[in-house]
Amino acid sequence: MTHFLSASPTYCLDFTPLLASRSSVGIGGKRVNNFPPLPSFMRIKPCFYQNINEEIPAPYQLLVRRVYILWMMYSGTLCMNVISCIAWWAAGGSATDLGFSLMWLALFSPCSYTCWFRPLYKAFRADSSFNFMAFFFIFFVQCVLTLLQAIGIPGWGACGWIATVMCFSYNVGAAIVMLITTLLFTGMTAIMALVLIRVHTLYRGGGGSMARAQEEWSSGVWKNAPVREAGFNVVAQAAQGPSLPEYPTAVPSYPSNSHW
């Protein structure tokens, strides 16, 4: 967890191939959605355009990329929770927990991306106070839910501490598998809390406030994505080489004296 928070950019994993590519530009300079990366033969198409290197200002790319990794880690923890609930069920546990674990995976994995990662992404992309506020509220709820999953109340579909300790009394093998998930949920809770504190510190240090968020809401500025205002031209890009799109004049000015 310490490495996740304090590693320098040199050692940060590069997820650029997963996040986006320069080829995600259609005819006429319109950007084509590229996330989630689905095979071209599928009738279902990607819902979002995402490119951290292109859309996020350089001082904040590392932080946004790590929050993206955090989302993947949480989704992986939910997958491990399903496996642990299967072991728990096989050892004599309730099928209700297995059913809820499948529901949490199907619900929280995509919703956590759209409900708290995307607001953070858009907040840093366009210095949007409204999206920062949306992130703070939803991510705080996510932290509380992850804490409850780490506690592991029986019947809630999460292999946390209470459920794991109870399972040790009648099946050690299943309890060990559940302990892995318990530790993952505990680690996710701690990291999420640190991320929430860190982003809030950056936001407040940059002069953000609730008044700015209310002003964006009343004016409707939060609806205008920078992509639609950039005047992106694929012909000029092909002639001049890769270039960053123009951002609104109010780019983020958050303190950058950190290892994030």
Pick the more confident residue, 251 or 110.
Answer: 110
Amino acid identity of residue 121, one-letter, is Y
161-177, pLDDT tens digit by residue? Answer: 999 999 999 999 999 99
5-16, pLDDT tens digit by residue? Answer: 443 333 333 444
**What pTM was computed for the model?**
0.74
Asked if residues 108 and 138 have their Cβ atoms less than 8 Å apart, the reply is: no
- Beta-ladder partners of 182: none
The pLDDT mean for the chain works out to: 77
Is the preceding peptide bond at 36 cis, omega within 30 degrees of 0? yes
- Beta-ladder partners of 48: 35
Burial class (CB in 10 A: 0-12, 13-18, 19+), 109: middle
Q: What is the pLDDT of residue 118?
A: 94
Q: What is the pLDDT of residue 26?
A: 53
DSSP string across 233-252: -HHHHHHH-S-PPP--S---
227-239, pLDDT tens digit by residue? Answer: 433 433 332 343 3
Contacts with 155 (C-beta within 8 Å, 6 or more apart), sequence order: 94, 96, 97, 100
Nearest to 113 by CA among 152, 70, 154, 146: 70
For 149-164, what is the mean pLDDT? 94
Q: What is the pLDDT of residue 247?
A: 43
189-215, pLDDT tens digit by residue? Answer: 999 999 999 999 888 876 655 565 556
Token duo for residue 7: 């590693």
Q: Is the pLDDT of residue 258 over 80?
A: no
85-95, pLDDT tens digit by residue? Answer: 999 999 988 89
Distance CA 55, CA 226 (A): 9
Confidence of residue 220 (pLDDT cuts 50, 70, 90): low
CA end-to-end span of the chain: 13
Pick the more confident residue, 133 or 252.
Answer: 133
Hey, is 48 helix, strand or coil? strand
Pick the more confident residue, 240 or 155.
Answer: 155
23-81, pLDDT tens digit by residue? Answer: 455 555 567 888 888 888 888 888 888 999 989 988 899 999 999 999 999 999 999 99
150-184 burial, b for 16+ CB within 10 Å, e for fewer?
bbbebebbbbbbbbbeebeeebeebbebbbbbbeb
Nearest to 49 by CA among 25, 33, 30, 69: 33
Q: Is the pLDDT of residue 116 over 60?
A: yes
**Which single residue is written with the structure tokens 């005819």?**
27
